[in-house]
Amino acid sequence: MRFFDLHCDTISTRVARGGGKVHLRRSEGQLDLERLRAGGVSAQVFAAFLPTGDAAREVGVTEKPQALFDQIYACYQKELRANKDLLAPALSGRDILKNEQNGRISAILSIEDSVLLDGNLHKLPALHKKGVRIMTLTWNYENSLGYPASPVPADMARGLKPFGKAAVQRMQELGILVDVSHLSDGGFQDVAALSRTAHIPFAATHSCARALCPHPRNLTDEMLHTIGETGSVCGINFNAYFLNGRSGNYTKIDDIVQCARYMRNKAGIDALALGSDFDGIDSTLEFGDCAGLPQLADALAMYFPSEEVEKICWKNALRVFSAVTDR
């Protein structure tokens, strides 16, 4: 089985913050290149995570978002150069297939929190030129595009700001996949409306089902239906707190399988994908780390036919990524 993982934080939380001592090839986190190869991962999205406010202070980040992105980007490029035998950048779906034929894992660059745009649309072409192909509109704080998911109903209902709508439209024109994970419900609806108008899918790269776990980061049944109806995709997050809603921080394989079964019933099989959030979550995983992904595929095969397991593990993510980037 092949895998296309729509989100990990490894390049940001481990490598870039590792003081030059942590590298992608081999690390002690949940993901490295040798374990990706062992697990059968053919495409991995690496997020440039840009924390601000209290979150930045907690991890010792002092740089402004643009400077922090530049730092993470330089680290990402260094790792690409150092691991050419295992890893190659992918700017399109075609690149993923080409890299796979050449025996290399595809690296896709994303940005988690588009706060670095700071109201400036002219930054988007430059980011696209640098290889950014997925952008998460918000993280846990308000930015120039919109508002984050919130337990406060009035805040959750807030939609995209005018700049946010313009930014989404520009991303669609450039070929950058719009990511609604972390976004308010109102913002989600605005992205969905823009997706329908442009006939371009979007993604929730690392989110789960709110009916199974009532966390504001998760997606309602209506949102899941919208993702299916627009030909978009949702990557299931492996965070225990988003999956099971129980006390304890242990992710069972069955938690992910049950989420997949529920989401298939609400969104349809073509909407399901994987968005691990490796090295962005501290959950203990029953299958260990990225090398254990085949165990998850085996468990999915107990409830889904083989062709549907393939869709969940890689085909749906590739379809949506290709639809946005192969134009």
Instruction: From the options 3.40.630.30, 3.20.20.140, 3.40.50.1010, 3.40.50.1980, give the CATH code of 3-325.
Output: 3.20.20.140
> pLDDT tens digits, residue range 44-100?
999 999 999 999 999 999 999 999 999 999 999 999 999 999 999 999 999 999 999
> pLDDT tens digits, residue range 107-152?
999 999 999 999 999 999 999 999 999 999 999 999 999 999 999 9
pLDDT of residue 191: 98
> pLDDT tens digits, residue range 222-277?
999 999 999 999 999 999 999 987 767 999 999 999 999 999 999 999 999 999 99
CA distance 320 to 177: 8
